[in-house]
Amino acid sequence: MKNLSLSVVLLFFTAFCLNGQLVITEISYNPPESLTDSLEYIELYNAGTSKINLYKYKFTSGIVFTFPNVSLDTGKYLIIAGNDLAFTRNYNKQALKWTDGALSNSGEVLTIVDSLNNPVISFEYKKAAPWPTSMEGTDGNGGSIEICNPLADPKVGENWKVSTKDLGFMINGKAIKGTPGEKNSIPPCAAQPSALVEVSSNVFTPKDITIETGQIVRWVNTGGSHNVNGKQSVYPSNPESFYSGDPSSDAWTFDFQFTKSGVYQYQCDPHASLGMKGTVTVKDPVMVDPYPQRSISQMTTTNSDGVLDSLNVNCTLTGIVYGVNLNPNGLQFFIIDGNNNGISVFNSAENFGYTVKEGDQVTIQGQVVQFNGLAQISPVTVSKKSENNTLLTPKVVTAFAENDEASFIEIRNVSFVDPSKWQPAGSGFNISMTDGTKEFLVRIDKDIDAFAAPIPSGSAKWAVSGLLSQFDNTAPYTEGYQLLPRYLADFHPAGAVSDPGSRELLKVSPNPVNHLLTIQADQLPDEVILMDARGTEVSRQTGTQSVDMQNLPAGLYVVKARIGSKLLSARVVKL
């Protein structure tokens, strides 16, 4: 018997690709066609627990293809084909067409990177053993190759086999076999040992090993009459028994899968008195959270160049939603913690089942990125924890600064530099305001109610609250700050006391209203003010909880109720 001379061999398997989810599970690289291979395809599978947005992922070797704005749900397949029309015609399934290139009949490296050029998948398929060969029915003989388990290491040729599913049609006399877009047909991968122990010369080598629950240990006898005895009758403290059988001098192997944690002792019965004993320490696996919980303040610090210290780091963040969704096709909003530390949330095309509502507490798993100086988290999941949470009072500032990026702030005693610039257009417009010394850029996004409203009027000076954003494409990212009002009601006449959660805190009914509007408050308001969409005061009353709107024109109004030191407000639609 060949001497293995092993102290221990640890066999590592790739449970997921580098991003933990996306895997290649089937390849058809040489269909039995004449001339051009129109039925080449690659099957992708989401083996993870969350949806993957593949936008701007791309192949950097193998074929030429950049993924469009497409997402792949967990447990779902996606086909990339050389000729999508031919693929659909023959397989009756949809596929995306790659841009250029073809799969090499000799084997080649396939590499996919994500939108940030981080490797996601990279391995080389081959046509020679231990990879499936033409003799087994692939490489021009009609069968695709499939991986035995989505979690198996794609670099290992033994993990790939020729598909056994006959699709019921032939090309050039060859039966076409494959499972594009569905579960693979080949048998599951055989269980493999995680550690090897050599049994020889009256000694176990290594004598003591440590593994994780669920892993397999293989003992290999290379000389002498030995056995492995870990019975509880011999070692009562063992969590469970294991036993290879009677001693034998054959070139035997013995595998045992340890499913319970603890310390196991065992021996070779004929040579126990000579010290031929060993231990297996089995530990529960350490679960590494791919999105560890972090605070917003931890993930938004920057280095001397203005670049995020946590750039491209995965994490979980929790905060309160401020403002509206500024990207109805996906997500763009802000979350802020209890200390007014904020971060932008952005995805171009996915909302992950969440409808943005100010005051919600949400938890977001994703990757921290930076766009023109603005810290963002690109989500992979969004979950709502609670709603109608109290908002912070905005921080009053006299200048825009990096420390206040994505925070809820307010500028006071400012006026419009050029009111004619209030011109709704495109995705939004910018207008400058000044306190007489400094100018502040205010961005009116098309998705807030102020976009379609006339410029606020009725006051020479204003207090404006909102969220501090940034658009600066040059390091160290200390310019390009913009104040984003959340609503028209964020423009207050100078001297008025703003309230952060006014839209939720002031309850009115009915809304929309045709006649009498009732203010629902625990105490009688000191003063009730009604303003139209231009910010012009329509009425002001004291000692009442109702507003008669019967004779007013239809449109949008803002009702404000002063209760003690607070000025609460709500938007009202008049029918």
- The pLDDT tens digits for 268-319 are 999 999 999 999 999 998 777 889 999 999 999 999 888 999 999 999 999 9
Q: Report the Cα 358 to chain-centroid distance in Å.
A: 22
Q: Is the pLDDT of residue 567 over 80?
A: no
pTM reported for the whole predicted model? 0.50
Q: Do domains 22-177 and 294-495 have the same CATH topology?
A: no
- pLDDT at position 289 is 82
pLDDT in tens, 360-414: 999 999 999 999 999 999 999 999 999 989 889 899 999 999 999 999 999 999 9
According to CATH, the topology of domain 506-574 is: Immunoglobulin-like (2.60.40)
Give the length of the chain. Answer: 575
End-to-end, the C-alpha distance of the chain in Å comes to 93
pLDDT of residue 17: 35
Peptide bond into 32 cis (omega under 30): no
Place of tokens 């009115």: 508
CA-based nearest residue to 555, from 428, 453, 485: 453
Question: What is the pLDDT confidence band of residue 574, given thresholds at 50, 70 and 90?
Answer: confident
- How high is the pLDDT of residue 161? 95
Q: What is the pLDDT of residues 192-203, one digit of tens each?
A: 788 889 999 899
**CATH code for the domain defined by 294-495:** 2.40.50.200
What CATH superfamily is the domain 22-177?
Lamin Tail domain (2.60.40.1260)
CATH topology of domain 195-283: Immunoglobulin-like (2.60.40)
Residue 419: which residues within 8 A CB-CB, separation 6 or more? Answer: 455
pLDDT at 534: 67
pLDDT for the residue numbered 458: 78
In three-state form (DSSP H/G/I as H, E/B as E, the rest C), the secondary structure along 423-454 is CCCCCEEEEEEECCCCEEEEEEECCCHHHHCC
In terms of Cβ atoms closer than 10 Å to its own Cβ (0-12, 13-18, 19+), residue 426 is exposed
Q: Give the residue with greater pLDDT, 253 vs 10.
A: 253
Residue 263 has pLDDT above 80, yes or no: yes
Domain locations in the chain as residue ranges: 22-177, 195-283, 294-495, 506-574
pLDDT, mean of residues 81-103: 94
